Amino acid sequence: MGPSRALLLFAALSSLVAALDASAGDADPIYRSCVEKCESSGCVGDKCFQHCKFSSDGKPIDGPWYLQEPLYLRWKHWDCQSDCRYQCMLVREEERQELGHEPVKYHGKWPFKRVYGFQEPVSVAFSALNLAVHFHGWLSFFILMYYKLPVRPDKRTYYEYTSLWHVYGLLSMNSWFWSSVFHSRDVDFTEKLDYSSAVALLGFSLILAVLRAFNVRDEAARVMVAAPLIAFVTTHILYLNFYKLDYGLNMKVCVAMGIGQLLLWAVWAGVTRHPSRWKLWVVVVGGAAAMLLEIYDFPPYLGYVDAHALWHATTIPLTYLWWSFIRDDADFMTTTLLKKKK
């Protein structure tokens, strides 16, 4: 997770915690009555849900086995309650729009319209594009290190942060993959995987920021820096998954790690004479500007594009520039080291 995503992650977590505290939509008595009637009758107006004949664990209440909901719906974890809430939300929002009211959140989320079963299709698409950009950045870095720049006689690279950036690339792709899954369907399982992968990436990014900013090359020193942070991040992830998914605590942890690495990169960019330091500044400043999308939260346009989706869009060019800086750093340090050897 580069500086931009670190900054924006804890902004997103802040807005999520605020949203979870209260949602006007699911407190609406008309909406609640609609959901209750739908769960008992299986219908909202003329639209009925066949799988409301089954309990949430997929076991039939009545009827033969072949009436069970389709496999793709079970994979998406849409059940009777989910569909009732979704349809009642759409109906209620149409009524509110006719009365001239603004959209409200339901169960902590804006009223998004599904596309082929995807809960937030635009965020899914942008998360997938971020995954693709990270893959391109990591692959181009791999090609640069092993096919374009000179290597040592034992085939190891002269750039002493190569393996760390490889791990970073894999963690980044993993994080954006689960972001795509989470935005396609928000359930407990996908939520925990999304948060866990993001925290793991954020923690490793902090380790990388410390090692690179202070130019730590000694293996023993690297272990001394990384070990306590890895232990802390691992403990935090285990706490979220197996004890309590504490949004407030998670936000504080992410804020602390995010601010830490942002300050490190910003200070380092200000004092270093690195030829590509301007790229680092653009990523940090651009990420700070994009954070306004999370602060100025607004309902999804036409039911699809909200501020969070646009945030995902802004991270795409910033990620491309971030990997460009990483490649430049590898080239610069390799060239400098070879000049010193001559």
Residues 97-112: what's their mean pLDDT? 86
pLDDT value at residue 67: 47
Contact 294, 307 (CB under 8 A): yes
pLDDT tens column, 107-126: 878 888 888 888 899 999 99
In the predicted model, is pLDDT for residue 19 greater than 50? no
Cα 121 from Cα 309, distance rounded (Å): 9
- Sequence-distant (≥ 6) Cβ neighbours of residue 173 within 8 angstroms: 131, 134, 135, 138
The burial of 235, by beta-carbon neighbours within 10 Å (0-12 exposed, 13-18 middle, 19 or more buried), is given as exposed
pLDDT value at residue 248: 84
Cα 119 from Cα 242, distance rounded (Å): 26
What residue has token string 């293996």?
Answer: 219
pLDDT value at residue 74: 53
What residue has token string 């730590």?
Answer: 216
In the predicted model, is pLDDT for residue 257 greater than 80? yes
Cα 204 from Cα 208, distance rounded (Å): 6
Which of 69-83, 87-101, 304-318 bottoms out in mean pLDDT, i.e. has the lowest?
A: 69-83
